[in-house]
Amino acid sequence: DQLVRNLRQGSGGAGGKQVEYKGFQLKANKRDIRVPTQLFINGEFVDAEKNRVLDIVNPTDETVLCEVACASVNDVDKAVQAAHKAFFGSWKQVSARQRGQLMLKLADLMEQYKEDLATIESVDSGAVYTLALKTHIGMSIDAWRYFAGWCDKIQGNTIPVNPARPNNVLTFTRKEPIGVCGLVTPWNYPLMMLSWKMAACIAAGNTCLIKPAQTCPLTALKFAELSVLAGFPPGVINVLPGKGSDAGQAVADHPLVRKLGFTGSTPIGKHIMKSCADSNLKKCSLELGGKSPLVIFADCDLDKAVKHGMSSVFFNKGENCIAAGRLFVEDRIHDEFVRRVLKDLRSMTIGDPLNRSTAHGPQNHKAHMDKLIEYCERGVAEGAKLVYGGCRVPNMKGYFFTPTVFTDVEDNMFIAQEESFGPIMIISKFNGSDVDSVMTRANRSEYGLASGVFTKDISKALSFADRIEAGTVFVNVYNKTDVAAPFGGFKQSGFGKDLGQEALNEYLKTKCVTIEY
Ligand code: TAP
| Centre of ligand 1 from the C-alpha of residue 244, in Å | 8
Ligand 1 binding pocket, CB closer than 6 Å: 184-188, 211, 213-214, 243-245, 248-249, 252, 263-265, 268, 271-272, 287-290, 321, 419, 421, 449, 489, 493
Structure confidence at residue 162 as a pLDDT band (50, 70, 90): very high
> Cβ distance 423 to 403 under 8 Å?
yes
pLDDT of residue 74: 98
| Centre of ligand 1 from the C-alpha of residue 113, in Å | 27
Rounded-to-integer distance, Cα 499 and Cα 201, Å? 11
The string of DSSP letters for 350-419 reads BS-TTSTT-SB---S-HHHHHHHHHHHHHHHHTT-EEEE--SBPTT-SSS-B--EEEES--TTSHHHHS-
Rounded-to-integer distance, Cα 254 and Cα 84, Å? 12
Sign of the CA dihedral 87, 90, 93, 97? Answer: negative
The 10s digit of each residue's pLDDT in 182-236 is: 999 999 999 999 999 999 999 999 999 999 999 999 999 999 999 999 999 999 9
The 10s digit of each residue's pLDDT in 374-389 is: 999 999 999 999 999 9
The 10s digit of each residue's pLDDT in 2-19 is: 554 555 444 444 455 789
Sign of the CA dihedral 154, 145, 241, 273? Answer: positive
pLDDT at 509 over 60: yes
* Three-state secondary-structure class, residue 323: coil
Kindly state the helix (H) or strand (E) to which residue 179 belongs, with its residue range: none
The 10s digit of each residue's pLDDT in 321-350 is: 999 999 999 999 999 999 999 999 999 999
Q: What is the DSSP letter of 134?
A: I
pLDDT of residue 18: 80
* Three-state secondary-structure class, residue 232: coil
**C-alpha triplet 500, 503, 506: angle, nearest 5°:** 170
pLDDT of residue 17: 72
Q: Mean pLDDT across the stretch 289-308?
A: 98
Pocket test for ligand 1, best of 243, 266, 321, 446 (most atoms within 8 A of CB): 321
pLDDT of residue 16: 59
| Centre of ligand 1 from the C-alpha of residue 108, in Å | 29
Q: How far apart, in Å, are the Cα atoms of 311 and each of 20, 26, 348?
A: 41, 30, 12
Q: Which atom of ligand 1 is nearest to the CA of 243?
A: 47
User: What's the predicted TM-score (pTM) here?
Assistant: 0.96
Catalytic residues: 211, 287, 321, 419
Q: Which residues have C-beta within 8 Å of that of residue 71, sequence separation ≥ 6?
A: 39, 48, 49, 52, 79, 211, 240, 241, 242, 247
pLDDT above 90 coverage of the chain, percent: 97
Distance from chain centroid for Cα 207: 19
Protein residue whose Cα sits closest to atom 34 of ligand 1: 289
The 10s digit of each residue's pLDDT in 389-436 is: 999 999 999 999 999 999 999 999 999 999 999 999 999 999 999 999
Q: What is the DSSP letter of 315?
A: G
Q: Mean pLDDT across the stretch 90-116?
A: 98
Rounded-to-integer distance, Cα 68 and Cα 60, Å? 19
Neighbours of 336 (CB within 10 A): 13
Kindly state the helix (H) or strand (E) to which residue 291 belongs, with its residue range: none
Backbone angles phi, psi at 55, to 5 degrees: -80, 130
Which of 358, 456, 380 has its CA nearest to residue 424?
380
pLDDT at 1 over 70: no
The 10s digit of each residue's pLDDT in 235-281 is: 999 999 999 999 999 999 999 999 999 999 999 999 999 999 999 99
The 10s digit of each residue's pLDDT in 55-65 is: 999 999 999 99
Protein residue whose Cα sits closest to atom 19 of ligand 1: 249
User: Considering the chain, what is the average pLDDT of its residues?
Assistant: 96
Rounded-to-integer distance, Cα 511 and Cα 157, Å? 10
Which of 363, 296, 287, 288 has its CA nearest to residue 326?
296
| Centre of ligand 1 from the C-alpha of residue 421, in Å | 12
pLDDT at 288 over 50: yes
pLDDT above 70 coverage of the chain, percent: 97
